[in-house]
Amino acid sequence: MEKQLTGKVYDIQGFSVQDGPGIRTTVFLKGCPLRCPWCHSPESQQFHSQLSWMEMKCAGIDACGKCIEACPRGAISEGKTKKHPTTQENIKHITIDRTLCDNCGACTEVCSYKALYICGTDYTVEELMERLVKDIPFYEESGGGVTVSGGEALSQPEFTLQLLKALKERGIHTALDTTGHANFKFIEQVLPYTDLFLYDLKHMDNDQHKAVIEVGNKLILENALKIAQAGGKMQIRIPVIPNYNDSEENIKKTGEFCKELGDAVTVVQLLPYHNLGVMKYQRIDDSKKVLEAPPPSEEKIASLKKILEDMGLPVTVH
């Protein structure tokens, strides 16, 4: 029997209003070639399913501790005692040796408090569509639809293509949230089934892009131009990261590039940095170094918005 195509999904978010026009359902796929240190969804980066531990939900070893015995590899053991931020109760927590953990999920089956869970579930296109069509009334009422996001959805190219095809067959508006770092042949395949690209531009300098994100920006910029030439529509998204890409010079260069894309650009969105991803890193691997910085001020965002608007670009802040 032929094996059915599946995609690895880490979240399905209904009633989304940040990922394209109208009320949308956003499907988040695992796997990404970029390593942005400010990533607010670090669980999206790896392609495999991962054990996640939510400290806030954990009752501690004294009240539970079943996961220690359940782990077949001895990856879970006694950890530090900490005060619960809400109850102020002292709780002896677990610690997870990620070098031993193979993400088998045995510990999640005995975790009464759902503090341990596996992030990343395999779906067929048919299984996902069963969930997505339930929201059709909201799409029709609001001019919304489905956004396929990540990670980088084009890192699972065949699944993303088949999902977009299935959505269009049901007359559902589609958006693809992408870093643009993908082989253009995959973009070319999804173009006929993608009503809108949510396209990230993180820095216009290739060396700075590579130094911080671990990949350059040449492919990203080339693909944006090709999408525009092919008649695709784009919402350009600029994450505003303090001391990285928030200089007037970089924003002006980004605006100039957006002007090159012409009518393909429907809007430029400024996305101010926030630190909500820091806690998520701790859930999957607290050894990673992540960016922690104060969010940009309203005055800073307003000044960057004005630079782009003065260039004749439509700009929103999210």
pLDDT band at 88 (very low <50, low <70, confident <90, very high): confident
Given this model, what pLDDT does residue 238 score?
Answer: 98
Task: Name the region of 214 (left: φ>0; alpha: ψ -120 to 50; beta: rest).
Answer: left
d(CA 224, CA 236): 10
288 pLDDT higher than 70: no
Q: Is the pLDDT of residue 1 over 60?
A: no
Q: Is the pLDDT of residue 280 over 90?
A: no
pLDDT at 294: 86
Res 287: pLDDT: 64
Element (H, E) at 140: helix 136-142
Report yes or no: 52 and 105 within 8 Å, Cβ to Cβ: no
pLDDT for 285 equals 76
Q: Where are the domains of the chain?
A: 6-47+121-317, 50-119
What per-residue confidence (pLDDT) applies to 289? Answer: 66
Q: For the domain made up of 50-119, give the CATH fold.
A: Alpha-Beta Plaits (3.30.70)
Distance CA 82, CA 108 (A): 22
Is it the case that residue 49 has pLDDT exceeding 80?
yes
User: Considering the domain 6-47+121-317 in this protein, what is its CATH number?
Assistant: 3.20.20.70
- Round the average pLDDT of the chain to a whole number and report it: 94
pLDDT, position 87: 82
- pLDDT, position 40: 85
pLDDT mean over 132-139: 97
Confidence bin at 277 (pLDDT 50/70/90):
low
Q: What is the pLDDT of residue 86?
A: 78
> pLDDT per residue over 160-175, tens digit each?
999 999 999 999 999 9
For the stretch 102-114, pLDDT in tens is: 999 999 999 999 9
pLDDT band at 292 (very low <50, low <70, confident <90, very high): confident
Burial (CB count <10 Å: 0-12, 13-18, 19+), residue 227: buried
Average pLDDT over residues 23-32: 98
Q: Is the pLDDT of residue 2 over 70?
A: no
Q: Give the helix, strand, coil percentages of the chain, each rounded to 5.
A: 35, 25, 40
DSSP type of residue 310 = H
Question: What one-letter code names the amino acid at 263?
Answer: D
Residue 78, amino acid: E
